[in-house]
């Protein structure tokens, strides 16, 4: 079983992204808003993925497999009304940790979120974020991509 341990923050100001990798992402959700488990389709540049994410906030199950563009397009219409578009920047911070910074597009603009993954829950709890990180929204369900795809930017 694959487990994801990550914290998510609002972004106060953009860091230098000149050394970061950029990907254009579109994703849609196949599960109902009331389901605690998420089943997601994602296109990231020229790659296509099907991902299952379990319930939880800081720690949760994640399983992902690559699919073909044809498989993606077969199911994509079923995500209507439950979609997110964003630019994702993946880079390294001075402490060596990897960040994933999402700049949302469309009706979620100008929202910006950054995520950092950890090896252990204790490591995640002890983490002190850099100054460009804002409010910790890890446990705020309104900032889950699935919820924002359905309800829009949290108020």
Structure tokens at 113: 């979120």
Catalytic residue chosen out of the listed positions 29, 48, 89, 143: 29
- The rounded distance, in Å, linking the Cα atoms of 69 and 141 is 30
CB atoms inside a 10 Å sphere around CB 3: 11
Burial class (CB in 10 A: 0-12, 13-18, 19+), 133: buried
**Structure-derived torsion over alpha carbons of residues 112, 19, 100, 42, reported in degrees to the nearest 10:** 100
Q: How do beta strands 47-53 and 38-44 pair?
A: antiparallel
- 89 tagged catalytic: no
Catalytic residue numbers, as ranges: 29
């Amino acid at each position: 079983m694959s487990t994801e341990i990550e914290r998510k923050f609002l972004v106060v100001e953009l860091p230098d992204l000149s050394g970061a990798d950029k990907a254009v992402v579109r994703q849609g959700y196949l599960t109902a808003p009331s389901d605690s488990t998420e089943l997601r389709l994602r296109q990231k540049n020229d790659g296509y993925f099907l991902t299952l994410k379990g319930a939880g906030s800081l720690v949760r199950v994640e399983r992902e497999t690559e699919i073909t563009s044809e498989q993606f397009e077969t199911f994509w219409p079923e995500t209507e009304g439950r979609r997110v578009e964003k630019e994702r920047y993946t880079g390294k911070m001075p402490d060596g940790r990897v960040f994933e910074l999402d700049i949302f597009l469309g009706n979620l603009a100008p929202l910006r979120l950054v995520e950092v993954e950890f090896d252990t829950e204790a490591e995640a709890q002890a983490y002190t974020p850099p100054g460009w990180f804002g409010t910790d929204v890890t446990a705020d369900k309104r900032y889950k991509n699935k919820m924002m795809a359905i309800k829009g930017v949290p108020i």
